């Protein structure tokens, strides 16, 4: 079964949303799109060249923009990326 989402006319709208992101937000959302699972609350951010505070500021901003969700669990929280945006970013890695 193919898990790709058909975006159709939504691609222009997604592109507009992504153009409004800061460089840090773009870096974080691209990193999240390449993760196979939702990111846990305390990930290692060394490979992003961001401080912990920059990373969490970007996460909070992306949540306010409805590009990420917060899923609490018994021991932590997870931050899955919106599946539509994830699909777009995987197809358009340079946006």
- Tens of pLDDT, residue by residue over 54-84, are 988 999 999 999 999 988 888 888 888 888 8
- Tens of pLDDT, residue by residue over 24-48, are 999 999 988 888 777 776 666 657 8
CATH 3.30.1330.40 for the 10-91 domain, yes or no: no
Beta strands in the chain (DSSP E): 39-40, 71-72, 77-79
Q: Which class for 81: exposed (0-12), middle (13-18), buried (19 or more C-beta within 10 A)?
A: buried
Whole-structure pTM value? 0.80
């Amino acid at each position: 079964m193919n898990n790709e989402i058909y975006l159709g006319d939504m691609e222009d709208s997604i592109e507009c949303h992504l153009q409004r992101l800061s460089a840090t937000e773009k870096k974080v959302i691209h990193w999240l799109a390449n993760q196979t699972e939702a990111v846990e609350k305390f990930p290692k951010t060394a490979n992003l060249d961001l401080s912990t505070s920059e990373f969490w500021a970007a996460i909070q901003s992306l949540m306010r923009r409805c590009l990420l969700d917060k899923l609490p669990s018994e021991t932590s929280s997870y931050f899955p990326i919106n599946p539509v945006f994830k699909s777009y970013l995987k197809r358009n890695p340079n946006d």
